[in-house]
Each structure stands twice: as structure tokens, then as C-alpha cells.
Amino acid sequence: MSTPTARSTHRHARASASTLTMLLWKSSGSSVDQAASQLPLGRRHRNWNGRRKQMMYMRNWLAAAGITALSALASGASAEDGKPGEELVVYTGTGIPTDFADALVAPFSMHMQEKYGVPVHVRTVPGAIPTVWAQLQTEWPNPSGDVYWLYNQNIRAGIDLGYWLPLQDKFTREEWASFDQGAMKTLNTRGYSAPIEISAWVLVVQNSLPDGAVTSVGDFAKTEFAHRITFDSALSVGSGYNAIAAAAAIRGDDWHTWFQNGQFNEEAARPAFELVGKWAANALTLTQGSGSIRPLLRRGESLISAWWWHNAVEELRAGTAVHIVEPKEGVVALVQSGPVISSKTKNPIAAVEWAKFVHSAEANAIAQKVGYLNKLPRAGESASPQWQEFSSKAKLLWVDEFRDAMLDPAYNEKVLDLYNRVVIQGQ
């Protein structure tokens, strides 16, 4: 049997609603007439005005009932015709991922036009991920976004809360297997999202400093760099935990001893936090992501800034006189998740298509054009030449488990309390 067109289905809905209204009207009208016929003749005349008002109220109620029925039937027809809505709201985080998402808007609209006949407009909403995550929880169950770019820990927390639609079942088995399976295992988002990048944390150094002047994050404590270094604050952004991981690596600490059976061992963690506190005391400022790092480097106010590798490469391409140093203790690195789909999305067809498009070969090519050079390729695709060169020689220090522990709700409040007291206040 052929599927009716949207127009014919809407005509059927209008006819059904009209029939329903007529049947209800006849039934209610006869009931009123029957009740009136039981009255004495004089009372029939005296009650005519009341009966007329009742009929008017009934007519208005039935009209509303008919409209409601029509609306319900029409909505069902719209869902059944397999068409996406015209707008999609995507929260994109900050930095290069936002540039990447913006660059996908036009080709995605064209893709949707070709596939569904609907040129879906994507409205990208940039913003710091911790802020977006807090906003999502506040807005739930009526979130303003359809698709979100969040930290891995946020996605995992949202799974048990029913926040997301599963992504894995939107791919074939072969397609899902084309993602980097090591990264997928590390990501551990249970099929609700797929890995999209490896984030690597490096030192961005002004060319005015001679080669070899900076070799380690530990150089942040040197007096010759007093008030000329920056790194992110853990109180503001997730990348702020990188400095703590670097301090633990420099000291040779086993950070696993900090987290035991739901308890944060402040005594074991304090020495690494105190080292970060020394760096903070020597800093120009503690930054809050790319928006605050970039201008300080461009103006030359910061001699050394800890930053994500892909942002540093983009800064080089922009002509800023800096170079990249890979810390000798290791380059802090972790796997990051791609977008996740809200289970309350108002446009599920477009939301699924967007999540899949972000991971497509076409998007991989666009990523390299906009400087998203650390995007993970799927099987059959190529990583950027810059990433291939960097990752082949860098000593990557994987901190995914460390980051998970730091952001675990069982520990995070106490972690940030210690950070505030030791790193920020110097206690």
C-alpha cells in the first residue's frame, strides 16, 4: 500500500475532525432537546434563553475539540511523512570545534535538501562547556538545544538521567567499527557518542625566547618568566586540570592514591597542588580557555602559555610569532567525544543526521581546512599531515582516567576546594 502524501493526509485529518465535530454536535443537541421536551410548556419558553446559552457554549467547546483533533491528526501526519524540521539548535563549545561546526552549516543544509527536500538551518550556539552543561541541567526536561558538544564526563552522567538518544544504532555495524576502537573504549560513552579528536596540551612560546629556554611545564616557576606565563584555571574550564596532571608527572606521583573508595585523599594530592600553586604565583594570570589565551600571546604579554596543540597550530597559521614546545615530561593528552543528541530534541531526524554528518568523510576534509587538525579519522580517512608528524614524535601522556576521577561527582567538590585554597589563595 502506498503511503499517502502529506496533503492528502491533512485533507483526511480535516474530514475526520469535521465528522467528529458533527457527531458530537448532533449527539449533544439531541440530548438538550430531549431534556427540554420533558418540561411543561411555560417552562420551556422560560428556559429557552438558558438553553440557547448552553448550545452556544457547547458549539464553542465542540469547535475547540475539532481543532484539537485536527491538530493531533496533522501532527501525526507530519511525523509519519519522515520530514525533518526546518531548524536545528547545536551547542558547539568553544575554539576550533565551534569554527568546525560553523563550517559545516552550509554543506549540511545542502545535504538535507538533497536527501529530504528540506534545507535545514543549523543555529550554532558557542559557549564554555561547563556553563552549557549547567544550563542544560537547569532547563531539563525542556532543553533549548537539540545537539550538544560536551565533556566525556557530562555525557556519561547524562546517560543514566535519560538525557541522550543512542547514536550507535544509527550506524551500521561496519560503519561503527570504522571509528578508532581504542579511542572508543577510552571514551566509554556506551554508544551514545563517538570519539572525534585527541586533545594534546603543549607549551606555546614566544619566538623572542631562544631555543631550549623552555623544555618543561616546570619552567613556569622560573624567575625569568615571572608574571609572563599563563595556564587555564580548573575553576573555570576542564583544561585547568591539565596543570595538575603535569605536576603529578613531574613529581612522579601516583595520582591513583588520591582517589580511594569515594574519598579524596587531600594529603596525598597536596604536594602536586602546591607545585601548581607555585606556578600560579608566577603567572601573569590564570586563563579561561582560548578566548583569554589568544590575545595575551598576540600582544606578547605572555611569554609562555599552556594551550591545546590544535589551537597553537592555528595561531602559527595566523602569523603569531610563536613556536610549540612539547614538555619533556610528556604531552598531556586525552580523547574527546563528538556531539551527543538530546532525547528531547524537537527535530530528531535532523539531529541524527547532524551527528552522523559531523563524523563523515566530507566533514573530515572540512575539518582540515578550518584548522581542526587533531580530528580523529575513521577507517579509510587520513589524519592531517600536521597531526601525523606531531603524534609520531610526541610522548603522549594519557590522562583520560585522571580527568574522569577529577570530575567524578564523588570527588570533584573536594578537588576544587583544595585547588581554591592551595592554588588560588596560596594557603
Q: How far apart are CA 143 and CA 198, in angstroms?
A: 28
**154 and 211 housed in the same domain:** no
| Residue 410 within a domain | yes
What 3 state SS string does 199-262 have? EEEEEEEECCCCCCCCCCHHHHHCHHHCCCEEEECCCCCHHHHHHHHHHHHHHCCCHHHHEECC
**282 and 348 housed in the same domain:** no
**274 and 410 housed in the same domain:** yes
| Residue 389 within a domain | no
**152 and 167 housed in the same domain:** yes
Digits of tens for pLDDT over the chain (427 positions)? 333 333 333 434 444 444 433 433 344 444 434 444 444 434 444 444 444 444 444 444 434 344 333 333 333 333 446 899 999 999 999 888 999 999 999 999 999 999 999 999 999 999 989 899 999 999 999 999 999 999 999 999 999 999 999 999 999 999 999 999 999 999 999 999 999 999 999 999 999 999 999 999 999 999 999 999 999 999 998 899 999 999 999 999 999 999 988 899 999 999 999 999 999 999 999 999 888 999 999 999 999 999 999 999 989 999 999 999 999 999 999 999 999 999 999 999 999 999 999 999 999 999 999 999 999 999 999 999 999 999 999 999 999 999 999 999 899 999 999 999 999 999 9
| Residue 30 within a domain | no
**312 and 224 housed in the same domain:** yes
Tell me the whole-structure pTM to 2 decimals: 0.76
CATH number at residue 304: 3.40.190.10
| Number of structural domains found in the chain | 3
**264 and 305 housed in the same domain:** yes
How many residues belong to the chain? 427
| Residue 2 within a domain | no
**214 and 316 housed in the same domain:** yes
**301 and 415 housed in the same domain:** yes
| Residue 43 within a domain | no
Write out the residue range of the structural domain in which residue 58 sits: 8-25+53-68
**298 and 326 housed in the same domain:** yes
CA angle (309 as vertex; 305, 314 as ends), nearest 5: 90
H-run or E-run covering 197? strand 195-206
**168 and 91 housed in the same domain:** yes
**363 and 265 housed in the same domain:** no
